Amino acid sequence: MVRFLRVMTALALCAAGGSSGQDAGLWPAPLPPVTAPATQPRLLDLKVSADPPPVPGVRVQVHGGALLGRVLDNGVRVWQGVPYAAPPTGERRWQPPQPPAPWTGLRAATAPGDVCPQPMSQMPGDGRSGLRGAEDCLFLNVYAPPLPNTGRAPRTPVMVWLHGGSFRSGAGSDYAAEVLAREQGVTVVTLNYRLGALGFLAAPALTDATGSSGNYGLMDQQEALRWVRRNVAAFGGDPRNVTVFGESAGAMSLCAQLASPLSRGLFARAILQSGPCTPQGITTPLSEALNTGSAYARALGCAPQDAACLRAVPAGRLLDVPVPGRRVPGAVDLPMVSGDRVLPRAPADVFAAGEGLRVPVLLGTNRDEGTLFVAPVAEAGQDLPLWQFWGVVALLERWDAPRALASYPAGGGTVGDTAASLVTDSLFACPASDLAADLARTAPVYTYEFRDPAPPLDLAPTASVPRYGASHASELVSVFGTRLAGLADPARFTAPQADLARSIRTYWANFARRGDPNGPGLAPWSPYDPENGRVMGLAPQATGEFAGFRQAHRCGLWDRLASR
């Protein structure tokens, strides 16, 4: 299978065999829901409550009906559990998203809807099992800034968040956006999309009249963006000024949206956080995906052409049965599919040809991405065994493993630190640099590296990774400014870290507002120029552009090895 997924699955396999028990903690707790009166119906019932007393700023009319949100203590207006598509259940399982059914009266939008079906466990080997969520999960949440005391509020920029989670876990409701909305004066939309087999299975039985199969999660994202275009003005947002931002699998999804002809006109700008676009491994060709889907159907007890049988399989069984060719149930087994109408070509090929959506892009990675993936691999209290490190290197298809090993000697630190550097460089930093060079030929691009050496993480150090540094996902607490359960808490920021976090949110919001992150009081940030390769370093008391990013991450080596 493609190398990106092979390497990350290899790390998961090692973790399954000897985990430290550490939860990756990528998916923070949702905003606590308001307790509803006993007479208020469940949100999923599409019933209505008796009209409550009018509350300024929380009642809106959207296509489909009226919504009642709530006002937080800081004045931010929030609507949660808003359906943007019909439940993808029954015959609608593995179909493109359909419009939601309209409702009459006033629909409560005061608590998140169900998350999409996913494993209870975030990481292999952490001792938790089971399923959370439900297939009726295509909901979004809207955070709008406080209304002004007087006068009419101008339309605000809109930022639509695509969550990460390896295409198998996470939810929009995991991210509370009230700080970003209030502080920066932007309207933020977070959303769910179908995950795992329900979101990305391609199979002969599911192939439509155009020959397409799979990518249902990508279609959900596009449908949510269409909903935003139709309805965000009701919340005070500007439908002509939409920026999509995402992290990890959310950023990889955004790679696909930038390459998809069906995304044209749905957003004006993109922010990609730690989501490599250019490795071929983020997608799989349709023909290969169909072969995998056929084998998976047989593993589920269905004929490859029997759609009715597949649609009758309980969601929990889809999570329990591993995809053939993979040995970790729920791992990144079903990547996005290239060669269908949603994604006719792999993003790497589209961007290398100077094609795709020509919109301004802000993108970057974290200096120590790999520590989060390597930390749970070794046995508790032990460094990463050399054989596991060598095994990961050997999985790098088309790359010269002996040469890679020579460039990453397992000495001068822990073996885990060395493995983490290899993962950071080969799968995040250098692909991001390559992507920036491709995209900068057709539109403005701004690049960054998050470099906080000691963010306030809730992750325990291990013998193999004694220091996480700027690990994968460690920038999220700065972007949102709220606690991310199991990952980090802004209450533990030092004063310089708090200043950095505010600067990051301001850079992001400025970019969403006008396609340029610069603004008063901020270190100047130049568009990316491949000739000098300067990148914005985001660090406490040390924010500024720097040279030598590619050299620090050995990108010349990875370019040569990948071209063999």
How confident is the chain (564 residues) per 10-residue block, as mean pLDDT?
50 46 34 34 32 62 98 97 99 98 97 95 56 97 92 92 95 97 99 97 96 97 99 98 98 98 98 86 90 96 98 94 66 82 96 96 98 86 79 62 78 87 94 96 98 94 94 97 88 97 99 98 98 98 97 89 59
H/E element holding 431? helix 430-439
Is residue 39 domain-resident? no
In 133-174, the DSSP E strands lie at 139-144, 156-162
Is residue 369 domain-resident? yes
Is residue 173 domain-resident? yes
H/E element holding 67? strand 65-68
Question: What CATH number should be reported for the domain holding residue 505?
Answer: 3.40.50.1820
Torsion sign across C-alpha atoms 434, 502, 511, 142: positive
End-to-end C-alpha distance for the chain, whole angstroms: 18
CA distance readout (Å), 465 to 136, 251, 378, 384? 39, 25, 9, 9
Report yes or no: 203 and 304 within 8 Å, Cβ to Cβ.
Answer: yes
Q: Residue 122: its pLDDT value, please?
A: 57
Length of the chain: 564
Backbone angles phi, psi at 66, to 5 degrees: -95, 145
Is residue 75 domain-resident? yes
Q: Write the DSSP assignment of 318-378 as a string of letters.
A: HHHSPPTT--STTSS-S-EEESSSS-SS-HHHHHHTT-S----EEEEEETBTTHHHHTTTS
Q: Residue 16: its pLDDT value, please?
A: 45
Q: Residue 562: its pLDDT value, please?
A: 65
Q: What is the Rg, in whole angstroms, of the alpha carbon atoms belonging to the chain?
A: 23
- b/e per residue 380-408 (b: at least 16 CB within 10 A): eeebbbeebbeebbebbeebbeeebbeeb
C-alpha span between 282 and 481 (Å, rounded): 29
Q: Residue 279: its pLDDT value, please?
A: 66
Is residue 52 domain-resident? no
Active-site positions?
Answer: 248, 369, 472
How many domains does the chain divide into? 1
Q: Residue 76: its pLDDT value, please?
A: 98
Find tokens 């080997």 and name the residue: 125
Q: Residue 258: its pLDDT value, please?
A: 98
Instruction: Please tell me whether residue 99 adopts helix, strand or coil conformation.
Output: coil
Q: Residue 381: its pLDDT value, please?
A: 79
Q: Residue 41: its pLDDT value, please?
A: 30
Residue 206, domain extent: 3-34+59-519+526-562
Is residue 424 domain-resident? yes
Is residue 43 domain-resident? no
Q: How many CB atoms within 10 Å of residue 370?
A: 27
C-alpha span between 163 and 550 (Å, rounded): 27
Is residue 402 domain-resident? yes
Q: Residue 32: its pLDDT value, please?
A: 34
